[in-house]
Amino acid sequence: MTYLNKALPVLAAVLAVIAVWQLESARSGLLITDAMVGATPVTVYEPDQSLGPTLVISHGFAGSRQIMSAYSLHLAQAGYRVVAFDYEGHGTHQVPMSGDVTSVDGTTRRLVNQTLSVLRWAAATDTSGQPIGQLGHSMATDVLIRAALEADQPQGPIVALSAFSGAVTATEPENLLLIAGEWEARLRDFGVDAVQMIDPSAGESQLIDAQSVRRQAIVAPGVEHVGILYSQTAQVRALDWMNAFYERDNTVPPILIGPWLLVLLAALVLIGRQVVRLPVGQASNPVTLRPWQFAACVAVPALLAPAISVLIDIQALPVLVADYLLVHLALYGILTVGLLLWFGARPGAIRPLAALILAVWGIAVFGFALHRYGANFWPAGPRVLIVGVLLFGALPFALGDAILTQARPWWQRALLRVSFVASLMIAVALDFERLFFLVLIAPIILLFFAIFGPLGRWTAENSGPVAAGIGLGVILAWALGVTFPLFSASGAA
For residue 138, what is the DSSP state?
A: T
284 pLDDT above the threshold of 70: no
Among the listed ranges 36-50, 191-205, 343-357, which one has the minimum average pLDDT value?
Answer: 343-357
| Spatial separation of the C-alpha atoms in residues 347 and 460, rounded to whole Å | 10
Q: At what angle do helices 69-77 and 257-275 cross, to 10 degrees?
A: 130
pLDDT single digits (tens) 435-490: 988 888 888 888 899 999 999 999 998 899 999 999 999 999 999 999 888 988 65
pLDDT single digits (tens) 106-118: 899 999 999 999 9
Contacts of residue 224, defined as CB under 8 A and 6 or more positions apart, other chains included, come to 181, 182, 183, 184
If residue 85 lies in a helix (H) or strand (E), which one and from where to where? strand 81-85
283 pLDDT above the threshold of 80: no
Vertex 236 angle, CA 174 and 182, to 5°: 85
Q: What one-letter code names the amino acid at 257?
A: I
| Spatial separation of the C-alpha atoms in residues 278 and 240, rounded to whole Å | 51
With cut-offs at 50, 70 and 90, classify the pLDDT of residue 171. very high
* 253: preceding bond cis by omega (within 30 degrees): no
DSSP notation for 301-337: HHHHHHHHHTT-----SSBTTHHHHHHHHHHHHHHHH
Question: Tell me, what's the pLDDT at 492?
Answer: 44
Is the distance from CB of 52 to CB of 133 less than 8 angstroms? no
Q: At what angle do helices 410-430 and 383-405 cross, to 10 degrees?
A: 130
174 pLDDT above the threshold of 90: yes
Please compute the mean of the pLDDT values over residues 160-175 and round it to a whole number.
Answer: 96
DSSP notation for 351-386: -HHHHHHHHHIIIIIHHHHHHHHTS-----TTHHHH
366 pLDDT above the threshold of 50: yes
Please compute the mean of the pLDDT values over residues 161-175 and round it to a whole number.
Answer: 96
| Spatial separation of the C-alpha atoms in residues 12 and 270, rounded to whole Å | 6
Contacts of residue 478, defined as CB under 8 A and 6 or more positions apart, other chains included, come to 362, 363, 367, 377, 379, 387
**Domain layout of the chain by residue ranges:** 28-255, 276-488
Residue 218: what are its φ and ψ, rounded to 5°? -130, 170
| Spatial separation of the C-alpha atoms in residues 311 and 430, rounded to whole Å | 10
Q: What one-letter code names the amino acid at 191?
A: G
Is the distance from CB of 367 to CB of 272 less than 8 angstroms? no
| Spatial separation of the C-alpha atoms in residues 411 and 116, rounded to whole Å | 51
Task: Give me the torsion for CA of 128, 132, 134, 140, rounded to 10°.
Answer: 140
Is the pTM value of this prediction over 0.85? yes
Question: Count of CB atoms within 10 A of residue 132's CB?
Answer: 24
Question: Tell me, what's the pLDDT at 1?
Answer: 54
Is the distance from CB of 69 to CB of 60 less than 8 angstroms? no
Please compute the mean of the pLDDT values over residues 89-117 and round it to a whole number.
Answer: 90
With cut-offs at 50, 70 and 90, classify the pLDDT of residue 282. low
pLDDT averaged over every residue in the chain: 92
Q: Is 249 left (phi over 0), alpha (psi -120 to 50) or beta?
A: alpha
285 pLDDT above the threshold of 80: no
Identify the CATH number of the domain defined by range 28-255.
3.40.50.1820
Is the distance from CB of 59 to CB of 87 less than 8 angstroms? yes
The count of residues in the chain is 493
Is the distance from CB of 9 to CB of 50 less than 8 angstroms? no
Instruction: Name the residue among 490, 322, 466 with its Cα closest to residue 400.
Output: 466
Instruction: Name the residue among 261, 476, 254 with its Cα closest to residue 362.
Output: 476
Distances in Å between the Cα of 379 and the Cα atoms of 382, 387, 397 are: 8, 8, 21
DSSP helix/strand/coil, 457: helix
Q: At what angle do helices 438-463 and 257-275 cross, to 10 degrees?
A: 30
The residues that bridge with 258 in the sheet, in sequence order, are none
The residues that bridge with 58 in the sheet, in sequence order, are 85, 136
Beta strands in 202-285 (DSSP E): 208-210, 213-220
280 pLDDT above the threshold of 80: no
For residue 101, what is the DSSP state?
A: T
493 pLDDT above the threshold of 50: no
